[in-house]
């Protein structure tokens, strides 16, 4: 089990990048935030570090890392080492194909900039110390009242929420990779009622921000926050409603 290494103000970040200039650029940006940065030139060095040290609060790894790329490394950590550290995969602009975009992975663009810092802060905040198990992001009261506590209806509604939002977030990431901000906003408007159905106020507010107030530079950050929130809610639904075996 992961031990909390740092507070939100002084997180520990494992940074995997073979390009010296990009590494120096990131270290310069991180310096003003007092983060603890451990740098590794490749994925094997990162794995060796993780095997011998406490988990960091965040792993940032380049998409084309060697010998295992960013996706392979992330999967290896979860499936083989049972390390659940949040991962940001760094990539050059427009350097993601459709299959990569549709994964649940979170991304950060190079060259690193102040926008990168915002993405990192958002990711760290959303993966901070877990909330108590009774602190739910959702509520079923509306659905229970609507269905007169019909469990079959509840199951169907929850399954619909899980499947539809997962699909729509993939569409959002695809549109975002193409800088099709109009479509991103339209999808945000489309999925807002689904969050309202489960009384997920944070999801509703993020959808509103995505549709109405987020600038084009901020949209990727809001999408990251929305994806993380959905992932958290989905886990809670699966853990808490075991009787819905097909979820």
Could you state, in order of their start, the residue ranges of all structural domains in the chain? 12-126, 141-240
Domain 12-126 sits in CATH 3.40.50.2300: yes
* Residue 200 reports pLDDT greater than 90: yes
**pLDDT (mean) for 90-116:** 83
* Residue 49 reports pLDDT greater than 50: yes
Q: Which two tokens stand for residue 151?
A: 């469990």
* Residue 7 reports pLDDT greater than 80: no
* Phi and psi at residue 32, to the nearest 5°: -75, -10
3-state class of 116 per DSSP?
A: helix
Of the pLDDT bands very low, low, confident and very high (cuts 50, 70, 90), residue 135 is low
CATH architecture of 141-240: Up-down Bundle (1.20)
Task: In whole angstroms, give the CA distance from residue 163 to residue 152.
Answer: 16
Task: In whole angstroms, give the CA distance from residue 18 to residue 150.
Answer: 56
Report the candidate in 7, 16, 70, 8 with the shortest Cα–Cα distance to residue 41. 16
Sign (positive or negative) of CA dihedral 225, 57, 235, 164? positive
* Residue 2 reports pLDDT greater than 60: no
């Amino acid at each position: 089990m992961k031990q909390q290494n740092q507070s939100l103000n002084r997180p520990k970040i494992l940074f995997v990048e073979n390009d010296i200039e990009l590494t120096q650029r990131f270290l310069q940006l991180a310096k003003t935030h007092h983060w603890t940065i451990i740098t590794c030139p490749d994925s094997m060095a990162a794995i060796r570090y993780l095997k011998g040290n406490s988990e960091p609060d965040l792993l940032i790894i380049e998409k084309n890392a060697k010998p295992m790329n960013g996706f392979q490394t992330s999967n290896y950590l979860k499936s083989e080492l049972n390390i659940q550290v949040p991962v940001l995969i760094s990539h050059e602009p427009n350097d993601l194909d459709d299959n990569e975009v549709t994964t649940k992975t979170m991304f950060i663009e190079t060259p690193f900039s102040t926008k990168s810092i915002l993405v990192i802060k958002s990711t760290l905040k959303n993966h901070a110390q877990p909330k108590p198990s009774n602190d739910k992001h959702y509520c079923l009261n509306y659905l229970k009242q609507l269905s007169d506590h019909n469990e079959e209806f509840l199951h169907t509604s929850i399954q619909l929420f899980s499947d539809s939002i997962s699909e729509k977030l993939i569409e959002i990431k695809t549109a975002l990779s193409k800088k099709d901000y109009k479509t991103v906003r339209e999808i945000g408007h489309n999925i807002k009622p689904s969050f309202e159905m489960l009384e997920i106020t944070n999801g509703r507010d993020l959808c509103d921000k995505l549709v109405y107030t987020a600038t084009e530079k901020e949209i990727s950050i809001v999408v990251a926050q929305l994806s993380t929130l959905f992932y958290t809610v989905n886990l809670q639904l699966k853990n808490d409603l075991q009787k819905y075996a097909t979820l």
